[in-house]
Amino acid sequence: MILPKYDMFLKTQLESSSRKLRYLTILVVMASLVHTACGNDKSEPPVFDGARAYDYLVKQCDFGPRVPGTQAHRACLNYLTSELQKFDANVSHQSFLSQIPKTGQSVTMTNIVASFGVNKTERILLCAHWDTRPWADEDDSTENNDKPILGANDGASGVAVLMEVARHLQLREPKVGVDIILFDGEDAGIPGQSHTYALGSRHFAKNKNPGYRPKFGLLLDMVGDKDLDIYQEEHSLEHAPYIVDKVWTKAQGLNLTKFIPMPGYEVTDDHLPLLEAGIPCIDIIDFNYRYWHTLEDTPDKCSPESLATVGQLVLSVIYED
């Protein structure tokens, strides 16, 4: 039983509490509005610039074929390194002596590692190969089969997207740390002998610090085709299905219809050594490219729009939290 006086006291207290609650509610609503207004800028991913990325694609091709052991390869290595340094990345080289499997020629190969937010423990790995195939062995013209390809799509496109991503990483720091690795020696293999491909990523995986455990990895390869359609790659689906699902769901949310949520092909690529080393890495690749391993893999077959499609997806994944 509550005494009337006490009851009155309680009523006053309740009214006071109720007023306080109303004020509090108003304050909370206002605060959330302010938070939303400020937060919109922060939660929206940056806008990827396809034209800038396409410039990076053309610049790499201007060096000529980037075949390990050639002057063009060395010049492009210096170029990519100095560009990444301009974005304040912590850049290092992982060089190793290897052989071109078909010829036995000894060459120095170099993985380029550019890290952002080096002190962050939660990390994402982004990678692509920067070397190009020494032979156009898929070219219809047999006289071209021993000539090196320019690799506008097969090589330069993935790197081009990551260079533009690197620019954004400098402009706005994401919550996660990001490691960009440009692998060498991906494409000098002998058809049918999968172990002769992906030499740079094999070297990286074999020598990586056991404590290096990024949340996941995204490999970009052949992402510049004007006629872009990116299906899900089979090895990725088998070994890192949740990353495939995350990426294609994100693409659907962004209305990036060039990402087709269906299995399309199985590709031997730089993600395989990473998967074997315990890094859940998927291959984002459009393998339906009629100029693959021919002399016609040139910049005019690629487009800024295609690079932007993939680049926007990557930025959205990086800045999603």
Residue ranges binding Zn ion (CB under 5 A): 154, 187
* Residue closer to Zn ion (CB basis): 124 or 222: 222
* Residue closer to Zn ion (CB basis): 181 or 285: 285
The minimum distance between CB 149 and Zn ion, in angstroms, equals 8
The minimum distance between CB 226 and Zn ion, in angstroms, equals 18
* Residue closer to Zn ion (CB basis): 56 or 289: 289
The string over 3-26, giving b where at least 16 C-beta atoms fall within 10 Å of a residue's C-beta and e elsewhere, is eeeeeeeeeeeeeeeeeeeeeeee
Distance CA 156, CA 149 (A): 11
Enumerate residues 6+ apart whose C-beta is below 8 A from 209.
none
Residue 1 CB: number of other CB atoms within 10 A?
4
* Residue closer to Zn ion (CB basis): 174 or 299: 299
* Residue closer to Zn ion (CB basis): 181 or 267: 267
| 236 burial via Cβ count (<10 Å: 0-12, 13-18, 19+) | buried
* Residue closer to Zn ion (CB basis): 154 or 184: 154
Distance CA 310, CA 131 (A): 20
The minimum distance between CB 86 and Zn ion, in angstroms, equals 28
* Residue closer to Zn ion (CB basis): 87 or 197: 197
**Cβ(266)–Cβ(277) under 8 Å?**
no
**DSSP label at residue 72:** H
The minimum distance between CB 317 and Zn ion, in angstroms, equals 24
The minimum distance between CB 43 and Zn ion, in angstroms, equals 37
The minimum distance between CB 52 and Zn ion, in angstroms, equals 24
The minimum distance between CB 42 and Zn ion, in angstroms, equals 38
CA atoms within 13 A on the CB side of 144: 14
SS3 (DSSP) at 134? coil
SS3 (DSSP) at 97? strand
* Residue closer to Zn ion (CB basis): 251 or 286: 286
SS3 (DSSP) at 91? strand
In the numeric block, which tokens belong to residue 195? 């172990």
The minimum distance between CB 293 and Zn ion, in angstroms, equals 6
Distance CA 203, CA 210 (A): 14
The CA-atom distances, in angstroms, between 156 and each of 48, 66, 132, 302, 303 are 17, 9, 8, 10, 12
